[in-house]
Amino acid sequence: MTDKITIFWFRQDLRIADNPGLFEAAQHGAVLPVYILDTDELSKMGSASQWWLHHSLNALNESLDNTLNVYVGSSKNILLEILQKNAIQAVYWNRCYEPWRIENDSLIKAELKNINIECKSFNGSLLWEPWDVLKKDKTPYKVFTPFYTRGCLQARSPRHPLPKPEKLTLIKDLHNLTTLGNLELLPKVRWDKQMKACWEIGEHAAKSKLIEFLDDGLQGYKENRNYPFKKNVSRLSPHLHFGEISPNQAWHGAQAQGLSHGWTKDSDCFLSELGWREFSHSLLYHFPDFPNKNFQQKFDNFPWANNPLYLKAWQTGQTGYPIVDAGMRELWQTGYMHNRVRMIVGSFLVKNLLQHWHFGRDWFWDCLVDADLANNSSGWQWIAGSGADASPYFRIFNPITQGEKFDPDGKYTRSLVLELNRLPNKYLFKPWEAPENVLKSAGVVLGGTYPNPIVDLKVSRNKALEAYKEL
């Protein structure tokens, strides 16, 4: 072991266990733990993500015995400034895959090399590197199933999680006076109080959430993950995005639990969902314009409508379609939405309302605590029909039948659309069909206490299909 001081630069890996870069840094001597709120990246971060980041950094700082050094500004300039003021021999970090971060990392590596500072980056965020899972002709996969079955599952198995470093000597940058509060990540108008009650944030909370899911949610996952009122979802997505837990911990934990209990169909299904996360990151890495440009260029000519009233009704959960409104209210209140419901509300926006998928992408980006560039871009292009391995455009989710099938007792919808709480199941997802006396006894006034549908499903569906034919 050499005795040196290494900067470990935390980014989307806000944990101590199974942190490859931190583990390696700790093997060589003292570690100066750093988090830099890059001003360029801050402008790209949604409000809910900023809120989560504040609490995640606070939890990380506590686990590091209050030695986390936080900064605001250009990451390159700040790293160079730290190096000038402290006796540092190396800088380590785990890789990120957003295009601007890849570009920035390359510049930083070149700068550090010029001044003879050791620099190493590691994989702490993905099961497989995007450049390791390629077709035989060395081009990237564009369809999920072969990507996962021929690419991922035929590649080396994901590495087993690393333990916490046995010895972690942490030091402070005494020249730095910036505090977590100086980052100003919390909203000035405290809309977050309701959301805070829904989450525990940080590495310890993420580990507990994984254990809870493996014990109580993995069995029956394959079938029950589609029902928003059931417990068979992990809700690990924000913890994975911020790196409070690694995909390797989730992968090996689920795999072991499935094998030991005979739940392999359920665990294999969960592992394939982690595979979708890998696929989204592969698309982002190989096609950096993916977040903004239609993957299928024919959609560049799609005749999207631009209706601010429709968009506002969708954003605020006032469309008149209860399962859609439930999902949008869940998003606003909790910073999260069940995946089945994400598909329903996404389909409604781009196909029934004919609003550009960019509007949905941007709203989710600002409101989701698990907002992730790869996943958000992939999800919206999938539902719009414009992405890689996308849902066919003519597949249009019917919010009535989807509600009746996946929320048959209305437990999820009633918990969020309170004004329909007393409406019988028969009419819950189509209240406009309820007789006047039923509406009256349930305290529902259509166009008053609850809106009439903003579009007719059949008419809007036909408009979407006609628009698609024009391509």
Tokens 């390696």 sit on residue: 24
Phi and psi angles of residue 71, each rounded to the nearest 5 degrees, phi first = -145, 160
DSSP 297: G
Whole-angstrom distance, CA of residue 86 vs CA of residue 81? 9
Q: Catalytic: which of 304, 307, 404, 421?
A: 304
Residue recorded with tokens 């980006």: 365
Specify whether the CB–CB gap between 242 and 35 falls below 8 A: no
Token reading at 86 = 């402290």
Six token digits for residue 157: 């198995």
> Of the listed 51, 93, 357, 365, which one is catalytic?
357
Closest to 367 (Cα-Cα) out of 434, 309, 315, 301:
315
Among candidates 23, 11, 9, which has minimal Cα distance to 161? 23
Q: Residue 437 is inside which H or E element, if any?
A: helix 436-441
Beta strands in 384-449 (DSSP E): none
- Residue of 380, 382, 398, 419 with catalytic role: 380
Catalytic residue among 86, 224, 226, 339: 339
Residues in the chain: 471
Specify which residues 11 forms β-bridges with: none
Whether 51 is catalytic is no
CA–CA separation, 37 and 29 (whole Å): 25
Which residue is catalytic, options 276, 307, 404, 421? 276
Rounded to whole angstroms, the Cα distance separating 208 from 249 reads 12
| Burial class of residue 42 (count of CB atoms within 10 Å of its CB; 0-12, 13-18, 19+) | middle
Active-site residue flag, 100: no
Q: Is 357 among the residues known to form the active site? A: yes
Ordered DSSP codes for 40-80: HHHTTS-HHHHHHHHHHHHHHHHHTTT--EEEEE-HHHHHH
Helix, strand or coil, per DSSP, at residue 258: helix
Cβ–Cβ < 8 Å for 403, 305:
no
Quick check: is 182 catalytic?
no
How far is the C-alpha of 339 from the C-alpha of 354, rounded, in Å?
A: 21
Known catalytic residue at 380: yes
* CA neighbours closer than 13 Å in the CB half-sphere of residue 207: 9
Measured CA to CA, the distance from residue 403 to residue 419 in angstroms comes to 17
Q: Give the strands of the sheet with 90-94, arranged side by side.
A: 69-73, 29-38, 4-10, 90-94, 118-122
Angle, in degrees to the nearest 10, between helices 339-347 and 399-406:
170
Active site amino acids: 273, 276, 304, 339, 357, 380
